[in-house]
Amino acid sequence: MKILVPIKRVPDPELKVKLKDGAIDLAGASWVVNTFDEYAVETALRLRENAESGESHGEVVVVTIGPDDAGQQLRSALAMGADRAIRIDGEDKALDSRVVAAVLAKVIEAEKPDLVVMGKQAVDGDANQVGQMLAGKLGWPQATFAATVELAADKASLTVGREVDAGVEYKTIALPGVLTVDLRVVAPTSVKNNITPASHSYGTGEGGPRYASLKGIMAAKKKPMEQKSIGDYGVDVTPATRELGVTLPAARAAGQKVADIPTLVKKLVDEAKAL
């Protein structure tokens, strides 16, 4: 099976947010693969491999829209085990979800994957839109916010555990389709593909995406990376969303430490009037 994984680079979410001229200051930002997209790469690799024999049962193609530097994030995904990459040249500032979905729809027309796996949202913009938009544009089914995924033995459908407000919903979609992944998809037994033995556990504890091995990093340097430009896809790339300004939230007033529980309850009653 062929799996396409669109990824986005984001400024390192561990670093403090700084503003400059009413926008996020990205000068000197350290860029990383969006956390959820890294999980999407991991999910795609688990879906196509036999984790115990190491045998591959399909192709994983990663794609990004970004400047030259964004090639580094594609290389990271290749080092994890993806087979090839496509970088579509574009500036982050000139993109919004609608444009990204339109370009990706064209990539999918050309690549014809059986499945698209992507992060449920990028941790910079937190929009949570592109997967659903892409599925809507293509007329494909969607399974969003996946915590667990099981590929049917005939590879014609996926059953996805989705953490919804009411509990966990199990949704089956026919392929081709769009899968977006949430945090728990990288837990040790969250992904089943009916190839890897069902008893297999990825890592220990909370699991997580795989690290690139030294061998993987060396191999990634030789894997193909195609360069494209947005213009190659013939879609209207005028963003409909314009950022007018960014502000930082007001810091919460400094709180107080109180000596014991009776004092706490007294303050909650008398001072905060919260009880």
Partner 1 sequence: MGNILAFCEFDGGALRASALSNLSFARQAASAHGGEVIALLIGVGAAAAGPAAAAYAAKVVTVEHGDLGHYLAETYAPIVARLAGEHGAAIVCATATSVGKDLLPRVAALLDAGMASDISKLEGGNRFTRPILAGNAYSTVEVSTPVVCVTVRQSEFAPAEPTGSTGSVSSADAGAIDAKGARIDRVDSQKSDRPELTSAKVVVAGGRGMGNGENFKQLEALADLLGAAMGASRAATDAGMVPADWQVGQTGKIVAPNLYFAVAISGAIQHLAGMKGSKTIVAINKDPEAPIFQVADYGVVTTWEKAVPELIEEIKKVKATR
Give residues 118-177 in contact with partner 1 (rule: CB under 8 A): 120, 123-137, 139-145, 147, 157, 159, 162-174, 177
**Number of residues engaging partner 1 in binding (CB under 8 A):** 81
Torsion angle, alpha carbons of 29, 117, 196, 193, to 10: 160
Give 214 or 240: the residue with its C-beta nearer to partner 1.
Answer: 240
- Scanning 44-52, 65-73, 222-230, 241-249 for contacts with partner 1 by CB under 8 A, the matching segment is 241-249
| 21 binding partner 1? (CB under 8 A) | no
Based on the shown chain and the rule CB under 8 A, indicate whether residue 269 belongs to the binding site for partner 1: yes
Q: For residues 87 and 225, is the Cβ–Cβ distance under 8 A?
A: yes
234 binds partner 1 (CB under 8 A): no
Structure letter (DSSP) for residue 86: E
User: Of the two residues 54 and 167, which places its CB atom closer to partner 1 in the complex?
Assistant: 167
Listed in order, strand segments (DSSP E) in 17-141 are 19-20, 23-24, 31-33, 59-66, 84-89, 115-119
| Distance (Å, whole) CA 195 – CA 231 | 40
Q: Are 94 and 237 in contact (CB under 8 A)?
A: yes
Site string for partner 1, 83-112 (x = CB under 8 A): -------------xxx--x-----------
Give which of 77, 78, 66, 139 is closest to 108, Cα–Cα: 139
**Window 189 to 218, contacts with partner 1 (CB under 8 A):** 206
- 58 interacts with partner 1 by CB under 8 A: no
Considering the complex, what minimum distance in angstroms separates the CB of residue 217 from partner 1? 29
* Chain mean position to CA 266: 46
Q: Which is nearer to partner 1, 50 or 159 (CB)?
A: 159
Phi then psi for residue 41, to 5 deg, are -60, -45
